[in-house]
Structure 1
Amino acid sequence: MSEKNFFQAKQSLNIKGKLFDLSTPKVMGILNITPDSFYNKSRTATIDEALRKTEQFLTEGASFIDIGGYSSRPGAKDISTDEELQRLVPVVESISKTFPEAIMSIDTFRAKVAAETILAGAHIVNDIASGDMDDEMLETVAKLQVPYIFMHMQGTPQTMQQAPVYNNVLLDVVDYFSKKVEQIRSLKIHDVILDPGFGFGKTIAHNYELLQKMEDFQLFGLPILVGFSRKGMIYKPLEITAAEALNGTSVLNTIALQKGAKILRVHDVKEAVECVKLVGLLNG
């Protein structure tokens, strides 16, 4: 990769005109407005439930609330844009009104959903497809001028775990990001966060190889988000369930923090905040 592919290293995000500091790692709480997310305790069926969980996350120390209306678990059911919006917009509006200090990211790969939820009060677009599943996404984010999380995924949520293959998983993912970063730069999207996509179109071995070499993603000079929380890369090798995978999640979050992660996307905020605090003591 050439030097011109890299952003300057960033330690802050511009969120609606205010600078948000990332020099200390932050925690993002997962709020699923879905009936079929892989971890059933993360599913939220009503606005009142969403508000209670948001309050809990904020009290426990979450800096971001990541709200999704489309399950991206392997083999997830595809839903329409309208249904996704019907799930998300009322929740975003209610959180914005009840907790005006809350910073919300929207977990969507659809440009229309991104635009309408930002209008409803959200602040960040979190796109598992990096614009590859909606040709209008990157231009929409550029017009919105909001922070953008872009992730690597091989395939789609419906196909991604059907025997994923790489020539070299690290080099293939880095090459993907190198091209994507150049595309994003050309559209003048300024606040960008990179997500290696653990569990998205990768075998367990692929996931651990990426984690082992995660420092290499710092070449892009971008904040790195990781999302291991209760995923199969934890519970399958341990022969447990997602419900039993909190300890394993904390272990991987700790490793990722030591390798430069700036945002932990998790179901369990309190424990992730504790990881950040203790690893921070190691770093002085």
Structure 2
Amino acid sequence: MEIKSRQYPAITEFILLGLSDEPHMQVVLFSTFLAIYIIILAGNLLIILLTLADPALHTPMYFFLRNLSFLEICYTSVNVPKMLESLFSGKKSISFIGCALQTYFDFFLGGSECFLLASMAYDRYVAICKPLHYPVLMSQKVYTFLAVVSWLSGFLMSFSHTSMVFTLPFCASNVINHFFCDIPPLLKLACGDTTRTEIAVFTVAMIFVTFPFVLILMSYIGIINTILKISSSEGRKKTFSTCSSHLIVVTLFFGSACIIYLKPNSSYSPNTDKYLSLFYTVVGPILNPAIYSLRNKEVKCAFMRIWKRKPLK
């Protein structure tokens, strides 16, 4: 007796429900996120231009910060323009290919940020704990290599996640209760038993999130041990201030990401995850320029030097 495999109708598009179905909220949300998007672009672009224009900021720390700002611009541009289009026109559909590309770039940039933040933590560890060896341990060749590895790691993570999810058959529905194509809600739409895929996705996420997080944790353990050995309280405060901005960014990014992607699938809550996602897709990118400029004396001084610089005659 021949057993025929069940055929599911091919889904050509998904429907993104967004943040709210209330018509009167569409204008408010559109205006809010348009303003946020402009601030993200302007703030991160300012950091990039500032660290390129001022020779005093041509150091590994600001090289990584420049990469982070560029990443944040790309990261936000993956999701926010589509959300703005939906809020403005009311069109909530996204093609199957568009959804796959959105998922791919989300995890590509998110994975890259994990390792980029780890590279920044290592840079601070070497600067504080091994200052005499800093020029060798963080040479141009080393920090360029770390940046390349960070971007490459994101590529590998994203490729595995996207291929595992979008090769599944979708049959239950094409409605995604989210403002972008994210893996947890997509897995809920897949047909049949997705346990193996969920385990595989969880395992890959554990590797690509836990490894850089452990590196960051080890770096800060070394940094804290070194700071505690400094005799003066003023010296301890000054030393810690050089890495406090990075620590805030790490807490925001890893905190929200871990709650969403490293929790059991049984505790998945569409509305909770949807709003938590705002922390690393919108809140983080808008806060990064403020955190690194308002809390960073070198950046503020560089801005004032360029602001006061007289044009060439």
Same fold (TM over 0.5): no
Q: Relative contact order: is structure 1 or structure 2 higher (C-alpha 8 Å, sep ≥ 6)?
A: 2
> TM (normalized to structure 1)?
0.26
Tell me which structure has the larger Cα radius of gyration: 2
Greater helix fraction, Structure 1 or Structure 2: 2
Greater strand fraction, Structure 1 or Structure 2: 1
